[in-house]
Structure 1
Amino acid sequence: MESEAILAAWDAYSDKHTDADGWPYDEVTYGWRMVQRDAETWRAFQPVRTCARQLLSTAAVQLQHINAGDIAPHWASHLRELTQALERLEALRSEHDKVREARRTSEPVSQEAFVDSLAERNEEAWSHLDTWAAKGRTLLDIHAVALKAPVRWIRAAPAPTAAAVRRAARRG
């Protein structure tokens, strides 16, 4: 996954540019690199974001049709965490959209304020994006098990008899 590559690159950078206690040697450069990491992670999530709600819904339905013995104990909690993370990401996106819209309308927003808003959104999104990077695999795992699960046949309800239809019409 792209997000895993971004995180690995960040870890390598951070290891090289911080002391033994985790303090950066150059706070300004480190901060700019963090802003870059956050922006790359936000961009990497965008193709997933457009269908994330549907992916979560599909996984929730699939989970209901998988035999209990085939369900990993953490799947339900991961789906809840992914849903909460997505809700927060959508809220952050909406908040930034307002800043972007204000830039186009009567309340001009400076370039600096716009860039700061973007960086702030990405920074606040980091932990939620990390949740998707760490637990998003659950969606694929559920799907893989659902594909192997035996199909449950649903019996159609028998058609009502003529007498039942007449009784229902009299009550109606």
Structure 2
Amino acid sequence: MNPVRHRGAVRHSPDHQGAVPLPATHNPKHLNRLERFLRTAAEAIHTCDQDPAQEQDDDGHLLDTEGYGWAAHRRDRSLWYAYLPVRSHADALLTTATAQLDMLPQESRPAWASKIAALARAADTLEAGHDRLMRELREHLTGAANPNLASVDLSVTEFFDEAWPALDVWAGGGSAVTELNTTVHGTAPPPAPNPALRLVSGGVTGWSRC
């Protein structure tokens, strides 16, 4: 099968010639942290979707664009901080999930592989964005008598805004890791967020307007 690429690395499946077999059992602590992230993310997205700034006029235009922007910013910031404990173990989660793909019947692998690959790409995107933020902050805060705090605030705000699509991938698709684990090992997965919380009509993605 094809390798899954994430965090700039390539993880080969156990049947890949010359590759080292990958562990096929998750650390329970990693799954618990993913579970907490999924619950927190669902709550943050639901809160944003219910914000009064979502109100629209008869033509479908937002009545409070500034309020909408702040609601989305709070959502994005909450998701990033909720993701941090998962970020520490994203490689391990994805590596184990990749190994588990080879324990599935051949015909069911592509669908699962697509879900895991999407999470891997999102993790890469978040890492690249964070690296860029760190470079910008160093430029703003070092080598100057008066640090440019306004630029710091702008860089952080832009980071949260740009992180939203990748965080949304993990919020909406992170449960694939636990579901795949259940499929392979037959153990009960951690509770996943209620999808109904995110079924909001009129959104760009069909999940959330915020």
- TM-score normalized by structure 1? 0.77
Which residue of 1 is the match for residue 133 of structure 2?
96
CA contact (8 A) 2:141 2:148 kept: no
Match of 1:119 among 139, 152, 157: 157
Which residue of 2 is the match for residue 130 of structure 1?
168
Superposed counterparts of 1:29-108, under 5 Å? 29-68=67-106, 71=108, 74-107=111-144
How many angstroms apart in 1 are the aligned matches of 2:72 and 2:54?
A: 14
How many angstroms apart in 2 are the aligned matches of 1:114 and 1:73?
A: 43
Query: How many aligned positions are there?
Result: 148
Which residue of 1 is the match for residue 45 of structure 2?
7
How many angstroms apart in 1 are the aligned matches of 2:88 and 2:116?
A: 17
How many angstroms apart in 1 are the aligned matches of 2:60 and 2:149?
A: 32
How many angstroms apart in 2 are the aligned matches of 1:20 and 1:83?
A: 40
CA contact (8 A) 1:103 1:110 kept: yes
Could you tell me which runs of 5 or more consecutive residues in structure 2 were left unpaired when the two chains were aligned: 1-38, 188-210
Q: 1:20 to 1:80 in 2, by over 3 A?
A: farther
How many angstroms apart in 2 are the aligned matches of 1:4 and 1:21?
A: 29
CA contact (8 A) 2:53 2:62 kept: no
- TM-score normalized by structure 2? 0.64
Which residue of 2 is the match for residue 163 of structure 1?
none
Name segments (4+ residues, structure 1) moved above 6 Å: none
RMSD: 2.2
How many angstroms apart in 2 are the aligned matches of 1:20 and 1:3?
A: 30
SS in 2 for 1:8: helix
How many angstroms apart in 1 are the aligned matches of 2:185 and 2:53?
A: 41
The share of aligned pairs that are identical, in percent, is: 28
CA contact (8 A) 2:53 2:65 kept: no
CA contact (8 A) 1:4 1:133 kept: yes
Corresponding letter in the other structure for 1:34: A
Question: For the pair shown, which has the larger CA radius of gyration, 1 or 2?
Answer: 1
